[in-house]
A = this chain, B = another copy of it.
Amino acid sequence: MDPTTPDTACFEAGIKFGSLYHQFAGTPVSPDSSASLARAMEESIENQPFCTDVTVEIRDDELEAALAAQSAEYTELTGRFIDVEIVIDYEGATVVASMAMDGDYPRMQLDRVERP
Protein backbone atom coordinates (compact mmCIF):
# COMPACT_ATOMS: atom_id res chain seq x y z
CA MET A 1 0.00 0.00 0.00
CA ASP A 2 1.03 3.57 -0.54
CA PRO A 3 2.19 5.52 2.49
CA THR A 4 -0.29 7.86 4.17
CA THR A 5 0.42 11.35 5.42
CA PRO A 6 0.88 10.14 9.04
CA ASP A 7 3.20 7.37 7.79
CA THR A 8 5.44 9.96 6.19
CA ALA A 9 5.28 12.25 9.22
CA CYS A 10 6.47 9.36 11.43
CA PHE A 11 9.19 8.47 8.91
CA GLU A 12 10.41 12.07 8.95
CA ALA A 13 10.50 12.03 12.77
CA GLY A 14 12.65 8.91 12.66
CA ILE A 15 15.07 10.48 10.19
CA LYS A 16 15.64 13.39 12.56
CA PHE A 17 16.38 11.09 15.51
CA GLY A 18 18.79 8.91 13.59
CA SER A 19 20.50 12.00 12.17
CA LEU A 20 20.86 13.71 15.52
CA TYR A 21 22.18 10.64 17.26
CA HIS A 22 24.70 9.48 14.69
CA GLN A 23 25.94 12.94 13.74
CA PHE A 24 26.82 13.83 17.30
CA ALA A 25 27.53 10.52 19.09
CA GLY A 26 31.21 10.41 19.93
CA THR A 27 31.63 14.18 20.31
CA PRO A 28 33.99 15.07 23.18
CA VAL A 29 31.85 16.57 25.94
CA SER A 30 32.14 17.79 29.52
CA PRO A 31 29.87 19.83 31.78
CA ASP A 32 31.72 22.95 30.56
CA SER A 33 30.89 22.32 26.90
CA SER A 34 27.52 20.62 27.13
CA ALA A 35 25.42 23.77 26.72
CA SER A 36 26.97 24.77 23.40
CA LEU A 37 26.75 21.22 22.10
CA ALA A 38 23.06 20.90 23.01
CA ARG A 39 22.29 24.17 21.26
CA ALA A 40 24.16 23.14 18.10
CA MET A 41 22.33 19.81 18.03
CA GLU A 42 18.98 21.58 18.25
CA GLU A 43 19.69 24.21 15.63
CA SER A 44 21.34 21.87 13.14
CA ILE A 45 18.51 19.33 13.12
CA GLU A 46 15.89 22.10 12.96
CA ASN A 47 17.33 22.83 9.49
CA GLN A 48 15.90 19.54 8.23
CA PRO A 49 12.54 19.53 6.41
CA PHE A 50 9.27 19.47 8.40
CA CYS A 51 11.15 19.79 11.68
CA THR A 52 9.33 22.37 13.80
CA ASP A 53 11.19 22.02 17.06
CA VAL A 54 14.10 20.12 18.60
CA THR A 55 14.88 20.18 22.33
CA VAL A 56 18.11 18.61 23.56
CA GLU A 57 19.01 18.41 27.21
CA ILE A 58 22.46 17.12 28.05
CA ARG A 59 22.38 15.62 31.52
CA ASP A 60 25.25 17.20 33.42
CA ASP A 61 24.53 14.94 36.40
CA GLU A 62 25.21 11.87 34.27
CA LEU A 63 28.30 13.54 32.78
CA GLU A 64 29.62 14.27 36.28
CA ALA A 65 28.97 10.66 37.31
CA ALA A 66 30.82 9.36 34.25
CA LEU A 67 33.80 11.67 34.79
CA ALA A 68 34.04 10.67 38.45
CA ALA A 69 34.46 7.03 37.39
CA GLN A 70 37.23 7.51 34.82
CA SER A 71 40.64 9.10 34.32
CA ALA A 72 39.98 11.64 31.52
CA GLU A 73 38.25 14.96 32.15
CA TYR A 74 35.81 14.59 29.28
CA THR A 75 33.85 11.79 27.73
CA GLU A 76 32.14 10.96 24.41
CA LEU A 77 28.54 11.87 23.82
CA THR A 78 26.24 8.87 23.91
CA GLY A 79 22.58 8.18 24.63
CA ARG A 80 23.10 7.95 28.37
CA PHE A 81 23.75 11.68 28.51
CA ILE A 82 20.90 13.13 26.45
CA ASP A 83 17.14 13.64 26.52
CA VAL A 84 15.64 14.74 23.21
CA GLU A 85 12.18 15.81 22.03
CA ILE A 86 11.42 16.46 18.37
CA VAL A 87 8.24 17.86 16.78
CA ILE A 88 7.43 17.21 13.13
CA ASP A 89 4.70 18.92 11.10
CA TYR A 90 4.02 17.29 7.75
CA GLU A 91 0.98 18.19 5.65
CA GLY A 92 -1.29 18.67 8.65
CA ALA A 93 0.00 15.71 10.66
CA THR A 94 1.93 16.46 13.84
CA VAL A 95 4.31 13.98 15.44
CA VAL A 96 5.96 14.36 18.82
CA ALA A 97 8.78 11.90 19.50
CA SER A 98 11.41 11.59 22.19
CA MET A 99 14.54 9.79 23.25
CA ALA A 100 15.42 8.81 26.80
CA MET A 101 17.08 5.90 28.53
CA ASP A 102 14.98 2.74 28.91
CA GLY A 103 17.15 0.76 31.32
CA ASP A 104 20.49 0.68 29.51
CA TYR A 105 19.15 1.42 26.03
CA PRO A 106 18.58 4.89 24.52
CA ARG A 107 14.99 4.37 23.37
CA MET A 108 13.61 6.60 20.59
CA GLN A 109 9.82 6.55 20.57
CA LEU A 110 6.71 8.17 19.16
CA ASP A 111 4.81 9.97 21.91
CA ARG A 112 1.89 11.36 19.94
CA VAL A 113 0.66 11.31 16.34
CA GLU A 114 -2.02 13.88 15.43
CA ARG A 115 -3.61 12.98 12.11
CA PRO A 116 -4.79 15.66 9.67
A interface with B by C-beta (< 8 Å):
1-4, 6-8, 10-30, 32-33, 36-37, 39-49, 70-74, 76, 78, 95, 97, 103-105, 108-115
| Nearest opposing residue in chain B for A96, CB measure | B3
Give which listed residue, B24, B44, B109, contacts A29 with CB less than 8 A: B44
Tell me the bound Cα distance from A32 to B1 in angstroms. 33
- A14 touches which of B10, B24, B70, B105 (Cβ 8 Å): B10
Contact partner, A1, options B8, B41, B114, Cβ 8 Å:
B114
Known: A10-B7, A108-B15. A1 touches B115 (CB 8 A): yes
Q: Which of B22, B47, B105 contacts A71 (CB 8 A)?
A: B105
